[in-house]
Amino acid sequence: MTVAEEIAAQNELVENVIATAQRLIRAEKDKSKITPAYIAAKVQKAVDMFTDDEPIVIDQQEIISTLIQRFSHWMGKSTTMKDNTNHKDWLNAARKNDWQYWRRYRDFQESKLSDTVVDGLDEATDSILELLEDPQRTDPWDRRGLVVGHVQSGKTSNYSGLICKAADAGYKIIIVLAGLHNNLRSQTQVRLEESFLGYETTLDRDPGLPIGVAEFGEDLKTNSATTRADNGDFSKAIAKHFHGISPEERPWLFVVKKQKTVLTALLNWIQTRVADATDSEDGRKLVTKLPLLVIDDEADNASVDTGEQAFDENDEPDEEHRPKAINSLIRQVLHAFTRKAYVGYTATPFANIFIHQKGTTTKEGPDLFPKAFIINLSAPSNYVGPARMFGKVTKDGRQGVLPLSRDIEDTYDEETKSGWMPPKHKKTHEPLYEGQETVPPSLYEAIHAFVLACAVRELRGQGKQHSSMLVHVTRYVDVQNHVKAQVEEVIRRMRQRIFRGTDSDALLVQLYDLWENDFIPTRDEVTALSTKEEQPPVLPLWDEVVAALSNVLADIQVRSINGTAKDALDYATPGAALKVIAVGGDKLARGLTLEGLCVSYFVRTTKMYDTLMQMGRWFGYRPGYLDLCRLYTSPDLIKWFEHIADASEELREEFDFMAQTGLTPEQYGLRVKSHEVLTVTSPMKMRNSQTLSLSYSGTRPQTILFHRDKKIQEANLSAAELLMSSLGSYANFNFKYERNGEAHSWSNGGLWKDVDASKILKFLEDYTTHPNATSAKASVLADFISKMLQIGQLKKWNVGLIGSGSIEGTPHKFGGIEVKTFPMRKFDASENKFSIKVLTDPKDEGMDLEDNHWLKALDLTLAAWKPDPARSPPRTEPPTEPSGKGIREARKLIGGDADRGLLLLYPLAPYLIDENKSKSLVIQDWEKPIVAFSIAFPSSDNTITVSYEVNLLYWMQEYGPAE
């Protein structure tokens, strides 16, 4: 037996022990008995069952740790928004009695995952399948939906489960649209071989070796028209070998790229070999006997029509519009079937929601808008996504941030416009650092961090698992190959110094410095931010790490990932675990999973919302090594990711509220289109629109971007003072409420009620917001209020003036009230502007609510709330206070005094306080308050919108073009 075969046999033995122990534990009906000691006893029993004949050394502690984590995981519930027009309920227990595909897939998943996660998968896939149509229903039907997951959170497992259930239910043709590149298509094919087919596909398309689900059930003789090979996609040549499909056959699987030639061949085959009827109106070839399921992986990428489709004054589409090629072909495939379901999967759904709901053409039929449903999936508790990685913005700064990001500032010199890797460069660029053929110090450090991470994983018993490092600095293959050669040279010299012991002292000093000043404190911080079950293991001793370096460095390979199937297949090859530094660009950016990703080195290429989110290969699952993970990237990219995390949280909360009140995907689409940041950062997918239509109902715009101009700040202060002077006596000053047993107090602020809207409009007219502000533009807000007044809403307002409770803030008098200003401890500044992170505390939005109104807001918050470990902070216990969104919803529902807007004014101190308590003015010679404001608009059933011109030039300069 070769070494590789021995390792494979050992890995198989460990997997069998884990699966057997898990079954023994699962059989225990009293879950309170499942303690670490109980798990250890069952592991020992499983080991005894497999090692009776011959003594084999197994690391039982590693198996016990794995099972303790599995049995401590939990999942939140998915949320659904749906439109059941023309839908017939069909899925019940009786239909699922003899489902074979799902049963063996469930058993396959239970061998690797906890019951909780598999139960969550079962529930989520049921909820998707029942929103599709019964494949046995013979009259025409068309269901189109969208499943929104988290980046790297297991969407493939979800749609694999859905495919298994759809095949059991009677869907006959299953097409999976799997990205734009061969490596992602091949990776998807391999995963579906494991989860659905049960065999390896071969060049001649005959079933090969049994894999995956094959171990858990009989061979179901499922057909695959595509293979795992680099050239295994559908094509004209392959189509010649496939004749028609009869309804009695097992389902056919097609895993295809979103590529014009491939989709054209597939469409031609359907029309010439599968179609059994002709449309009486336009002569189209139709398939009436075979129900179709299309799974669109990364549905926001390439599938969305970015062409400008015209609509008339009645909002009806131009049916002669010519969509972009990929969108057109996907729609034509669907249009060729009388019974079809389309399910898009994505973590960044905004482009899909920007699709016009009525978009349709004669040739292609309806566009891909998810009219039937949108499902928002939850992730398991061990998922690490944007919200955990980058935390949540609060008035006190970002909270809950994992300390894993490291700044890169040595790849480009802004002054000389040169460097190792400028943000914009040509394919002939030579990456030189200070004129030398070498990587910059930040990449040296990142490589050192990866070597240490691999060593620690070995010492923690994870040496049989893959470990990866991602280097993503350029889109050009020639430049990637140059970088690869430089990285290889770094590894080669490290090997040489450690193996030979010559000149190793300086290297070991560098590694030890990184260990002492980074790895040890980071492990402690991650421990403090982790749940009891997810605590990282202890770090080994430094001497043990040094002893492991030789073997680790011998194992590390440096590879280019340029889109071949081999890239994806290597991880599936039995044998020793890989330790890989993967150098790549666009091929690494979307969909492709790097197993055991520990270190990412990522230099900015774009700041477009959905592109960036998909580039986040570092999101996902890091059991037992989260504290070893590092993200090396530029500070501005960290800032943008923080913004993405906040925007994503905001829209998920909006979704939960709208789903709870029974609204449809079309209504959600209107709300997303009012999120100007997400809209403007995808100008291509917004049809390059330069005019934005917004509705502020149910939102809370706030000023966080300000002019550094003395005259403007003087005018804004005068506007606030004029408003305060016009309000008369206040309703409350220095007041507090007892809210659900907790005191909510404003010890340095006042509240005015029944303020006429004209005074609010006057304030907004006099106040100057920065032209690059996103949500809070004074003139646009005034326009919206004026339109709402025309339909009889927002006539009366409440106004709050909120001062600081801190003794540090300099006092200022507004009308008859003196309040202390809010000291600023951190902001981002440039020559003509500065910005703060957040202004308003959700508590402030409730300062004008009576107790019964506040309790109504809490009821609405609880109704929309669900446990969700992927949020920040992880949602485990129901809230005891209403969210800002809940308060704004309550304003709509309760009527009376609360059915009005709330304007909140915040005087900010004009200086920055540093760590030593010294003060520096934000604006030269300006020592009076900088006035900020926010507005809490009640939700409204009226979709009143206002339009304004988007400053696309600013956004392109600030964030760069979409790629």
Res 413: pLDDT: 85
Q: What is the pLDDT of residues 348-394, one digit of tens each?
A: 765 666 566 667 888 898 988 889 999 988 887 778 888 888 888 77
Res 835: pLDDT: 83
Question: What residues have CB less than 8 Å from 181, skipping those under 6 apart?
Answer: 257, 563, 586, 587, 592
Res 263: pLDDT: 96
Instruction: Confirm if 472 and 601 have CB atoms less than 8 A apart.
Output: yes
Question: What residues have CB less than 8 Å from 896, skipping those under 6 apart?
Answer: none
Res 956: pLDDT: 46
Res 963: pLDDT: 39
Q: What is the pLDDT of residues 80-128, one digit of tens each?
A: 999 999 999 999 999 999 999 999 999 999 887 877 888 889 999 999 9
Give residue for tokens 């609880």: 862
Q: Which domains does the chain have, with CATH numbers?
A: 3-70 (no CATH), 79-307+321-376 (3.40.50.300), 439-642 (no CATH), 702-772+789-940 (no CATH)
Distance CA(742)–CA(272), nearest Å, equals 71
Distance CA(17)–CA(615), nearest Å, equals 36
Q: How many CA atoms lie within 13 A of 863 on its CB side?
A: 17
Amino acid at 766: D
Distance CA(773)–CA(789), nearest Å, equals 25
Res 54: pLDDT: 63
Res 696: pLDDT: 86
**Residues in the chain with pLDDT values less than 70:** 1-8, 52-56, 302, 305-322, 349-358, 533, 563-576, 586-593, 604-617, 669-693, 774, 807-808, 825-826, 871-875, 894-898, 943, 948-963
Write down the pTM of the prediction. 0.78
Distance CA(789)–CA(533), nearest Å, equals 54
413 DSSP 8-state letter: B
Res 914: pLDDT: 72
Characterize 680-705 residue by residue with b for buried, 16 or more Cβ atoms within 10 angstroms of its Cβ, and e for exposed.
bbbbebbeeeeebebbbbbbbbbbbb
Distance CA(722)–CA(716), nearest Å, equals 10
Q: Among candidates 359, 375, 376, 377, which has minimal Cα distance to 367?
A: 359
Distance CA(897)–CA(877), nearest Å, equals 32
What's the gap between Cα 224 and its chain centre? 31
Instruction: Confirm if 616 and 151 have CB atoms less than 8 A apart.
Output: yes
Query: If you count them, how many residues does the chain have?
Result: 963
Report helix, strand or coil for 934: strand
